[in-house]
């Protein structure tokens, strides 16, 4: 298990809010790239696959290789839960806090439930994993989000216009002549964000909608998945979603970075390949941040 076995529990500094940490990460690393941690055992290099802590070793190698190019890390909880590897996710979050305390951890869990259950989900994200922010589903309304907002120093990132094609089924429904995703954006910006801790998920696969959301929510941070494996256009994404100072987004890429190795059969150089792609993606994003506005 290497360095991560020696962990003592450290939690995020309560006076450093998610938003402050994210702002500093954008500037310190000159990056809007969020590296997604979606470990799929079948895609891991063969020399790691049969090890009991394969997920942990793989993710730590990816983190060390890409941290200098990233503004955040986004572990997707399903990849860990499906493999009964939540203990490895805990160790990964602990490792991130210990070695890269300036980079926010965004737990992608897309939780949504009644308030009493949401309280437990919030504890899971913020206490168990020590995440700086968690993704949540707005479908059940304000009382299902309120327990996350009680954690004033952490972020709640609300699904708004998701990157998948089927997102249009509901998110494009017209209500009073306006699509539902815009109602969500307005609701979060004007009501739910009273403590300034909210963000929105908007897919890079829909740059037009990304621009619409940016116009509604001002400088609110947006988590933007959909470049890389999903084919979203980087230039269109940055142009549509950046704030006046050329920041405002965590543009996520998972598979394109995690499985960048040219030889998945041996995969010995997977971390180097990930480093190369992360750096190139960060630089490509940065090319379109200049001349912001
Ligand atoms: O609208 C959404 C919301 C979340 N995701 C998540 O982001 C990553 C994308 O992975 P890639 O390999 O870069 O496609 C993944 O964890 C999704 O669950 C999203 O894609 N779209």
**Distance from Cα 226 to the centre of ligand 1, integer Å:** 6
- CATH code that applies to domain 3-287: 3.20.20.70
Reply yes or no on whether 74 is catalytic: no
Q: What's the CA gap between 283 and 33, in Å, rounded?
A: 9
In sequence order, the β-bridge partners of residue 253 are 35
From 241, 254, 285, give the residue whose CB has the most ligand 1 atoms within 8 Å, as the site to mutate.
Answer: 254
* pLDDT tens digits, one per residue of 74-110: 999 999 999 999 999 999 999 999 999 999 999 999 9
pLDDT of residue 292: 43
Nearest CA to ligand 1 atom 10: 254
pTM reported for the whole predicted model:
0.94
| Other Cβ atoms closer than 10 A to 255 | 14
Residue nearest atom 4 of ligand 1, based on CA coordinates:
225
Tell me how far apart the alpha carbons of residues 233 and 283 are, in angstroms, rounded to a whole number: 14
pLDDT at 7 over 80: no
In this structure, the residue with its CA closest to atom 5 of ligand 1 is: 225
The pLDDT-based confidence of 290 (bands split at 50, 70, 90) is confident
DSSP string for residues in 230-280: G-B-HHHHHHHH--TTS--EEEEE-HHHHT--S-TTT-TTHHHHHHHHHHH
Q: How many CA atoms lie within 13 A of 6 on its CB side?
A: 4
Nearest CA to ligand 1 atom 6: 225
- Per-residue pLDDT tens over the stretch 31-62: 999 999 999 999 999 889 999 999 999 999 99
What is the reported pLDDT for 212?
Answer: 98
Ligand 1, atom 3: closest residue by C-alpha? 162
Residue 26 CA to ligand 1 centre (angstroms): 20
Q: How confident is the model at residue 267 (pLDDT cuts 50, 70, 90)?
A: low
Predicted confidence at residue 55, as pLDDT, reads 98
Element (H, E) at 14: none
Q: Residues lining ligand 1, CB < 6 A?
A: 36, 38, 76, 108, 162-164, 201, 203, 225-226, 228-230, 252-255
Q: Strand, coil or helix: what is 108?
A: strand
CB 49 within 8 A of CB 11: no
**d(CA 6, ligand 1 centre) in Å:** 31
110, 152, 191, 242: the active-site residue: 110
As a whole number of angstroms, the longest Cα–Cα distance in the chain is 57
Give the lowest-confidence range in 2-6, 16-20, 151-155, 262-266: 2-6
CA of 8 to the centre of ligand 1 (A): 31
| Nearest atom in ligand 1 to 253's CA | 13
The ligand 1 atom nearest the CA atom of 228: 13
User: Cα(10)–Cα(263) distance, rounded to whole angstroms?
Assistant: 37
Long-range contacts of 117-125 (CB under 8 A, 24+ apart): 118/144, 118/145, 118/146, 118/147, 118/148, 119/147, 121/147, 121/148, 122/147, 122/148, 122/150, 122/151, 125/154
């Amino acid at each position: 298990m290497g360095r991560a076995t020696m962990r003592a529990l450290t939690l995020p500094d309560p006076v450093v809010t998610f938003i402050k940490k994210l702002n500093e990460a954008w500037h310190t690393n000159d990056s809007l790239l969020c590296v997604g941690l979606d470990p799929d055992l079948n895609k891991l290099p063969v020399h790691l696959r049969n090890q009991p802590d394969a997920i942990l070793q793989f993710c730590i190698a990816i983190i060390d290789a890409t941290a200098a190019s990233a503004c955040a890390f986004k572990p997707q909880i399903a990849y860990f839960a499906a493999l009964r590897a939540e203990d490895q996710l805990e160790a990964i979050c602990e490792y991130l806090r210990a070695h890269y305390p300036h980079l926010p951890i965004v737990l992608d869990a897309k939780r949504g439930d009644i308030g009493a259950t949401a309280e437990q989900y919030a504890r899971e994200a913020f206490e168990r994993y020590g995440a700086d922010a968690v993704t949540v589903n707005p479908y059940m309304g304000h009382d299902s989000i309120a327990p996350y907002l009680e954690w004033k120093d952490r972020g709640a990132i609300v699904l708004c216009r998701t990157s998948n094609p089927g997102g249009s089924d509901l998110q494009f429904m017209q209500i009073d002549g306006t699509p539902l995703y815009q109602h969500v954006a307005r609701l979060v910006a004007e009501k739910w964000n009273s403590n300034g801790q909210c963000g929105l998920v908007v897919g890079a696969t829909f740059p037009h909608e990304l621009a619409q959301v940016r116009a509604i929510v001002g400088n609110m941070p947006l988590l933007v998945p959909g470049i890389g494996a999903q084919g979203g256009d980087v230039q269109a994404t940055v142009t549509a979603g950046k704030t006046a100072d050329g920041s405002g987004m965590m543009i996520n890429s998972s598979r394109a970075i995690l499985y960048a190795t040219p030889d998945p059969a041996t995969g010995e150089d997977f971390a180097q390949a990930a480093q190369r792609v992360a750096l190139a993606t960060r630089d490509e994003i940065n090319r379109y941040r200049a001349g912001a506005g």
